[in-house]
């Protein structure tokens, strides 16, 4: 299938302000881009791209004072398949995990494994290991946390989200990631686009989404404690230890968010016909 | 000068247990090793080394059940100079910072910049930028936190340490790192050896130490909010965003710490004469 | 200025055949892409992208048997400036060179420094160091080698090109790179697009171009021994030690090249209007 | 088993001269070091270590004028096992090779695949693929090239070595590596220590040795076209595309080699008893 996706984000700045953006597609999807205005600004400013330590494509720029818009618009090819479901996927013992996964066993800003390790073993120590254990964690988080945009809070981590029982998609992801790590299953946070494909259209305005990946049987599998069932058409922007690593923007000065629109819709032509 | 340094750490394990160690010297000091038993275990087990994402040398192993000792003993060359003091070092504006430093502006597990940013600007927004600002942060943390081994707490971050006003060397480092980052100065956490060189001998048992580095004028400078004056003979083990990245050991199972000894003393021969 | 650039390359394969392509723009130009069909194939096949050890974007695919076309079409923003000319740029002594440049002092497949080092010192040992020495090398190579597409030869290296005095743009680049390295100036090979901007239009069919970069005064400067004067509108695809590292395609099986078209022209709209 | 290994190399320099050394053990063996003077110089000079693009540990220094010695002496643990022999190891089709192996399919300074590809397919196109094919290549090279220190030549590559039929261990390795690559089997060059373990003592003075690795069945296997049978006690220093990447020293100025001694012998104590 073809997906038309993009965003338009406008800030207002009292003075020239440096920004870091994590808003390009992930390199693993670069070959799927059919046609793109990948990242444009109005007014136009010089853009500088680099890869962060997790391999994500980031952009640096300095916004001028005043109203400043960053936008993207692309057509991306997708298999149209749902997230893989592999209940037989085994857990890898710590001593056999590949080195590059070990980082994803440790605590991080919003995944405070040190605070949750006892609770995790109490809750999941008797579940079967592997896929079933990750699914048990997703079920627990999905039931435990009530979704609501009004519960968004930039300083909230997994420990607080699980205690309050309220949050947005990033809190579901942080909570499940933290619990997986406590159980010695490498888990990493993902951010990207997900449209309403194969599900009833949502009435809420579209936003970027957060999900996570767990390492089982030698590969990373997608899980989503918020929706808690296999979805179609995720398009990855970035992965990291948690939301601190992959904030869509870091702005180094005061500003006002004036407009925020995200889209991810099926299309049938490889062209950017005006929306 | 020559420094004889090393450690001997014994755990007792009820069953075979995977461990990750960050106990080798940092690569930047590898060329200074005059003679070494760099990492040995008793009983001997296969060791596997790798570099983590920050460039630190890590070791993986599986301890057998029972008493298990990890040790190291080396003679290392050192200039004998104190930490550099460069009060003229300027702060680099965010838009000019090298890409590899940007990670060290973001929040991390124990450096919750999101919780401290307002306080930081209230406290330091009117201090001169650059070296003086980092020093003002060190002075503040040094005065604000009372040192005491009894205040150690594995889940404590900068926000809690500054609120309680109590901590160990890692809390001093986390607090200063978090405040620097809030002020847009890249800062990273360091762990390593520091002996009592040029200072009265301490009566407390020796331990590994934590300090930090701030990025000014295009390079990383050493700061130490705990001691808050230039020291001699630091020998780096590892650097990261905070203590979560560079724990000296991560142990994936229950265990009891039976013995913990660290040494770092001046020597005059390039040989490992029995201590 | 805006540059419309791209290519269309058709091979015919007797059987399914793996290919490696180095035909995406270099990451350093990714932020300049205004609109793009970056890499498309006909028939469509799965594409897999990765970065090689030099940081270039590469694509892997398996062509089906039959006629197979790879194409790209993009509009790219460019400053419109000529290559920088900085005659005061100093040569960095070997002991002060950054580590990542040292690789570009060594011999490589088509830059046989071991065969040319004596000749290089005879020719250039008495020229002023730094920019002037690199320019002296460019002048020598430019005068010494006669350009002609009929002189292209995939096994020809710098030593043979200089001896024969005949070659194509890659031979000019290899020769100058090899001579710079012999004189302890790091030099690397570049491949990309260059249109006829600010020069009389060429009558020859357009092709990708090769040039090189020399490391002086702490940065890489562009040189072009083939044209031997500052050009406008180079758009980089890849850099490496020599053409062996950045071949536009490596094809692992027999094939026939049926069509090869490259374009790089000024445009005035950020749109891919049919050419 | 325990192996005592090291070297002592003395050059005489008319003036201060920068050097790059690839003489540390490879990181993969760092955990096996029982006790070490890893790299020392006389007179002592500052050493700077870094990892090259292949992951090898390199050392930079500036030798003073006069006589200058670099030495190392270590005791290293080794399994004592011979090189693995796995005749069932399959060849991986190019389209399934991991990305990091693709570099080792391309031509390099001393492995001129472009010159040898036709000959390679004529010779080995009808042999069984996988392990048997690599072994057929080793057999061919072993029979085809006559060993003799007097045949050493720094500008000789695989094409010339195979044509002349004369060479030293690096020529055997280059020839086999080039032929493997021609047959689409990733192959890389290795340099390190090998003592006379399990073989009659050699009367020739000991030197560093060259061998190679071929990628089969998802891993790198050791092959040695010079000795052409499984050996005990190889200790790796560095790997690269060929000898140009891993020269034990690159010296940037005139010099005379005054002394060159290498040792690699079984020992029974973890101590550097004077030899």
- C204 versus D106: the higher-pLDDT residue is D106
Backbone angles phi, psi at D163, to 5 degrees: -70, -45
Query: Residue D113's Cα: distance from chain center in Å?
Result: 19
Q: Which of A186, A244, A247, A254 to mutate to test the interface with B (most CBs of B within 10 A)?
A: A244
Interface contact A43, partner C, CB < 8 A: no
Give percent of chain C above pLDDT 70: 100
All residue ranges of chain B with pLDDT < 50 are: none
Contact across the interface for A47 and C31, Cβ inside 8 Å:
yes
Nearest CB among B53, B62, B184 relative to A95 is that of B62
Q: For residues C96 and C102, give the distance between their C-alpha atoms in angstroms, rounded to a whole number.
A: 10
From the list D153, D160, D190, D191, the residue with the least C-alpha distance to D175 is D160
Interface contact A259, partner C, CB < 8 A: no
Q: Over chain C, what is the mean pLDDT?
A: 95
Q: For residue D273, what pLDDT is reported? A: 84
Q: For residue A272, what pLDDT is reported? A: 86
Chain A hits for C24, CB-CB cut-off 8 Å, are: 30
Q: For residue C203, what pLDDT is reported? A: 84
pLDDT band at residue D100 using 50, 70 and 90 as cut-offs: very high
Q: For residue A109, what pLDDT is reported? A: 96
Inter-residue contact C25 to C57 (CB < 8 Å): yes
In 3-state terms, what secondary structure has residue D271? coil
Q: For residue D22, what pLDDT is reported? A: 97
Q: Which of D15, D109, D243 to mutate to test the interface with C (most CBs of C within 10 A)?
A: D109
pLDDT band at residue C117 using 50, 70 and 90 as cut-offs: very high
Token code pair at residue B151: 């205040």
Inter-residue contact C242 to C110 (CB < 8 Å): yes
Q: For residues B16 and B252, give the distance between their C-alpha atoms in angstroms, rounded to a whole number.
A: 10
**pLDDT of residue C271 exceeding 90:** no
pLDDT band at residue C228 using 50, 70 and 90 as cut-offs: very high
Token code pair at residue D97: 């090779």
- C205 versus C105: the higher-pLDDT residue is C105
Nearest CB among B31, B38, B40 relative to D48 is that of B31
From the list B51, B133, B59, B52, the residue with the least C-alpha distance to B91 is B133
Q: What is the pLDDT of residues D31-71, one digit of tens each?
A: 999 999 999 999 999 999 999 999 999 999 999 999 999 99
Q: Over chain B, what is the mean pLDDT?
A: 96
Interface contact C268, partner D, CB < 8 A: no
Domains of chain B in start order, with CATH, are 2-80+248-267 (2.60.40.2250), 94-232 (3.10.620.30)
Q: For residue D106, what pLDDT is reported? A: 95
In 3-state terms, what secondary structure has residue B165? coil
Inter-residue contact D218 to D92 (CB < 8 Å): yes
Interface contact D205, partner C, CB < 8 A: no
User: Does A have 3 or more CB contacts under 8 Å with D?
Assistant: no
Tell me the nearest-neighbour CA distance from C28 into chain A, angstroms.
Answer: 7
Gyration radius (Cα) of chain A, Å? 19
From the list C164, C179, C224, C219, the residue with the least C-alpha distance to C199 is C224
All residue ranges of chain A with pLDDT < 70 are: none
From the list A68, A104, A74, A110, the residue with the least C-alpha distance to A249 is A68
**pLDDT of residue C219 exceeding 90:** yes
pLDDT band at residue C254 using 50, 70 and 90 as cut-offs: very high
Q: For residue C93, what pLDDT is reported? A: 95
Interface contact A242, partner B, CB < 8 A: no
pTM of the model: 0.91
**pLDDT of residue C273 exceeding 90:** no
Q: For residue C270, what pLDDT is reported? A: 86
Q: For residue D271, what pLDDT is reported? A: 85
Q: For residue B270, what pLDDT is reported? A: 86
**pLDDT of residue D275 exceeding 80:** no
Q: For residue A231, what pLDDT is reported? A: 96
CB pairs under 8 A between C and D: 63
pLDDT band at residue C243 using 50, 70 and 90 as cut-offs: very high
Inter-residue contact B101 to B143 (CB < 8 Å): no
Those of residues 3-42 in D touching chain C at CB distance below 8 A are: 18, 20
Q: For residues D115 and D108, give the distance between their C-alpha atoms in angstroms, rounded to a whole number.
A: 11
Backbone angles phi, psi at D38, to 5 degrees: -70, -45
Interface contact C50, partner D, CB < 8 A: yes
Q: For residue A202, what pLDDT is reported? A: 84
Q: Which letter, b or e, does each residue of C188-208 get, where b requires 16 or more Cβ atoms within 10 Å of its Cβ? A: bbbbbbbbebeeeeeeeebbb
């Amino acid at each position: 299938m073809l997906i038309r996706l993009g965003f338009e984000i406008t800030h207002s700045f009292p003075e020239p302000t440096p920004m870091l953006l994590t808003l390009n597609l992930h390199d693993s999807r670069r070959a799927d881009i059919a046609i793109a205005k990948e990242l444009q600004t109005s007014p136009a400013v010089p853009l500088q791209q680099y890869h962060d330590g997790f391999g994500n494509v980031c952009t640096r720029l300095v916004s001028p004072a005043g109203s400043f818009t960053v936008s993207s618009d692309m057509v991306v090819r997708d298999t149209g398949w749902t997230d893989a479901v592999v209940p037989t996927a085994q857990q890898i013992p710590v001593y056999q995990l590949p080195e590059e996964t070990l980082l994803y066993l440790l605590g991080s800003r919003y995944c405070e494994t040190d605070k949750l390790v006892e609770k995790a073993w109490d809750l999941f120590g008797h579940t079967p290991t592997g896929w079933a254990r990750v699914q048990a964690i997703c079920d627990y988080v999905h039931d435990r946390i009530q979704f609501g945009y009004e519960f968004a809070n930039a300083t909230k981590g997994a420990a607080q989200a699980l205690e309050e029982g309220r949050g947005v998609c990033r809190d579901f992801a942080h909570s499940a990631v933290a619990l997986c790590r406590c159980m010695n299953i490498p888990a990493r946070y993902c951010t990207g686009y997900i449209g309403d494909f194969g599900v009833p259209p949502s009435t809420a305005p579209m936003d970027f989404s957060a999900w996570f990946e767990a390492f089982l049987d030698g590969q990373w599998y997608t899980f989503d404690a918020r929706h808690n069932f296999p979805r179609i058409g995720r398009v990855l922007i970035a992965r990291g230890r948690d939301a601190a690593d992959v904030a869509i923007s870091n702005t180094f000065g005061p500003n006002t968010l004036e407009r925020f629109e995200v889209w991810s819709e099926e299309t049938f032509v490889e062209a950017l016909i005006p929306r």
